[in-house]
Amino acid sequence: MKIGVVLPTFREDPTAAFAMAAEAAELGIDGVFAYDHLYPMGSPERPALAPFPLLARIAVAHPQLCLGTLVARIGLVATDVLAAQFEALEALSPGRTICAAGTGDRLSAQENLAWGVPVGSADARRHELEALARDLGRRGREVWIGGGAPKTLAMAEAVGATVNLWGATVEQVAEQAARTTVSWAGVAPEGGSGGFGRLFEGLRGAGATWAVLGGPVDLEQIVAVSRA
């Protein structure tokens, strides 16, 4: 199981994100990820960095890292533009780009509305996500689909994409892993090294291919536990 971390992108500038990526690369963490939000959900007064320019800079600086969105949201830009953004990142990091995308939900829809970006129906967004996943899959890209809704899970399985489950239990990961490749993402657990140890052991046993940790994290602690 590979280990990834979510970069701090709800900031005015990328300094902290670049520093965290450099530390992750030095310590041997497998990948770094960036949210795709116009602002932190529920806090429209706060800033958010765009994921693709940030990841592009890191791709060039740290060729040992995998890079991905968590997750790029259908509807913020045209689907063909989103595909081109993934392709541009892949050109900078051949074989290291994780094209993770999702439909968004009623909570993230508020961001669209705040900026005057239309929000299509759930079925329309799912249709666009399927088209994107099939297009990227034909190009040989690693595709993750943020899962949750049963229809989205079924679509991810149909196109052969990895299902990314946010905050899922070990049991939910194991259930999904019986049907398709699955990655896990969520907030770093409490309990120090013991919390990480239990999480990693459970996810490995359940069949997760990645564990991606968000929130304040101690990278040295993550690495020490993951290698134990």
Q: How many domains does the chain contain in total?
A: 1
> In this predicted model, what pLDDT tens digit does every residue of 143-199 receive, in sequence order?
999 988 999 999 999 999 999 999 999 999 999 999 999 999 999 888 788 899 999
Exposure string (b/e) for 115-143, b if CB count within 10 Å is 16 or more? Answer: eeeebbebeebbbbbbebbebbeeeebbb
Confidence grade of residue 100 (pLDDT, cut at 50, 70, 90): very high
Report the DSSP pairing between strands 142-146 and 97-102.
parallel
Residue 112 has pLDDT above 90, yes or no: no
Average pLDDT, the chain: 95
In this structure, which long-range contacts are made by residues 142-147, counting pairs with CB atoms below 8 Å and at least 24 apart in sequence? 142/97, 142/98, 142/99, 143/99, 143/100, 143/101, 144/68, 144/71, 144/98, 144/99, 144/100, 144/101, 144/183, 145/71, 145/100, 145/101, 145/102, 146/70, 146/71, 146/100, 146/101, 146/102, 146/103, 147/176
Q: How far apart are CA 225 and CA 222, in angstroms?
A: 5
Q: How far apart are CA 123 and CA 103, in angstroms?
A: 9
Structure tokens of 17?
């994100």
Per-residue pLDDT, 192: 80
Residue 49 domain boundaries: 2-226
Confidence grade of residue 228 (pLDDT, cut at 50, 70, 90): confident
Query: What CATH code is carried by the domain that includes residue 30?
Result: 3.20.20.30
